[in-house]
Structure formats: structure tokens, C-alpha cells
Amino acid sequence: MPNAISASFVALVARSLLFNVAFYLNLFLHMLVAIPTFVLPQPIMVQISRSWGATSLWLLRTICGIKVEWHGREKIPPGPLLVAAKHQSAWETFALLPLFPNPTAIVKRELFRIPLFGWCMWKCGMIGIDRSSGRDALTGMVGRTRAALARGRQVIIFPEGTRRAPGAAPDYKLGIVQLYAGLDAPCLPIALNSGLFWPRRRFVRYPGTVRVEILDPLPPHLPKREFFARLRHDIETATARLVAQGERDVAA
């Protein structure tokens, strides 16, 4: 039995290592393809980012045995949209891109400084924020998000600001309320359990099924308190259910 456990763990580590190599190679190849598009219209770069997300999901399924179940895709409204997703893992930073026709995301401005990768993010129209700038950062984020929505884009944001392990107490930032209040677009909440299979700050990728639940959109212009309470309740209630379901699957 100890030998069997050891062998299975070695295989798990080997698959995780192979995936990490393939993941970054896939990213590098997509960035190479993207270089000529710097002089072309932005939608071409956006489609390259969606391709990177889709191929990364394929690699994850093929190498690590991590599948995805999407629930509620029919709830995605057409046109401009604010997307508020649970953030448990690096998984959702790429996996959500193929879900939308013209996605962008709110990211740390420091990422723009990474050679080639940051340039691609800039060309994609990603919205960089400097968290150290306080109120100025929030004002700029609202303005750039409003401009992205005016172009019909779907803007992805993680309301907690950073990854939270499955089961950890939620920590929603009030910035999502100020952002929503400054826009004229619905907000689409998304729950998931990706952290069970791609844990934060961990090298190993565990086989299983990531479940993503797209929840009912929240209409624009809700009172701030109501919006914040509903967003937090809807995402956390669905996430708790998905995490429990994933944990039962792993135990079985």
C-alpha cells in the first residue's frame, strides 16, 4: 500500500510538472502569434487571449484530468457586462475568457511591466489599477471600465481582490460597490470551486471536475447596500454548495 500511494503521488507530481511546462509554452506561443497583431485592430488580440484560455483548459483536462462543468451559461446577457467572479485559484484568470465574446479584466497594473505578456495585456485593453493610489485608482477604474462597456465589452473583476482558499471567510472589497454604482450595466455573479483542484500557492494540480455556476444577473442601479448584500450572498451560497459537492466527489 505505501508503494502504491507513493507511485500515485509521483504520477500526480509528474503530471503537474508536465502541465506547468505545457501551460507556459502555450502562453509563450500565443504571445509569439500575437506580436504581428500589435498593429492590427484590438479584437484580434482579444480572440488570441480567448484561444489561450481555451487551449489551456484543454491541456489541463488532457494532462491533469481536470474537467469543467459550466452551469447557467444561458443566463449570460448579451452586450456590455460587469462580471464578478469568485477567486480561488489562478484557474479563473484564463478559464473565464472563452466564456465571453469580448472579454477584458481588471488587473494589477504591475502586470503591464512584464515584457511581452504585459504588452499583450495592454493591447487586449485590460484595465490596470494601482492599488496604492487609493481613491484615484478607484476613479480611474470606473472611468476605464465605463469606456470598455461603451465598446460592448464584458469586464471581469474579482470582488475579493485576491485568491481565497475554499472554505475561507469571504472578504469582499467595497470597491466593487463603487464600480457598480458608477456604471449602467448589469452585474453577472459567478461561483466556482476551482481551488479544490488548482490550489493557490501550490504546485500540484489534482484531477477532478471544476464546477462553475453562472448566477442570475443583478440589474443596474440597485441601491448600494442591496447590491453588495445580494452579490455576496449569491456568490458565497453557490460557492459553498459547489465546494461541498467537489469535496464529496474527491472523497468518493
H/E/C letters for each residue in the chain?
CHHHHHHHHHHHHHHHHHHHHHHHHHHHHHHHHHHHHHHCCHHHHHHHHHHHHHHHHHHHHHHHCEEEEEECHHHCCCCCEEEEECCCCCHHHHHCHHHCCCEEEEEEHHHHHCCCHHHHHHHHCCEEECHHHCHHHHHHHHHHHHHHHHCCCEEEECCCCCCCCCCCCCCCCCHHHHHHHCCCCCEEEEEECHHHCCCCCCCCCCCEEEEEEECCCECCCCCHHHHHHHHHHHHHHHHHHHHHHHHHHHHC
Q: How many residues does the chain have?
A: 252
Output the pLDDT for position 4.
Answer: 53
CATH number of 2-251: 3.40.1130
Output the pLDDT for position 1.
Answer: 45
The set of cell numbers assigned to 107 is 488587473
Output the pLDDT for position 19.
Answer: 97
CB atoms within 10 A of CB 226: 10
Lowest mean pLDDT among 68-72, 73-77, 111-115, 155-159: 111-115
Assess whether pLDDT exceeds 60 at residue 53: yes
The set of cell numbers assigned to 158 is 474579482
Lowest mean pLDDT among 110-119, 128-137, 139-148, 189-198: 128-137
Output the pLDDT for position 231.
Answer: 98
Q: 198's torsion region: left (phi>0), alpha (psi -120 to 50) or beta?
A: beta
Full-model pTM:
0.93
Give per-residue pLDDT as tens, 99-110: 999 999 999 889
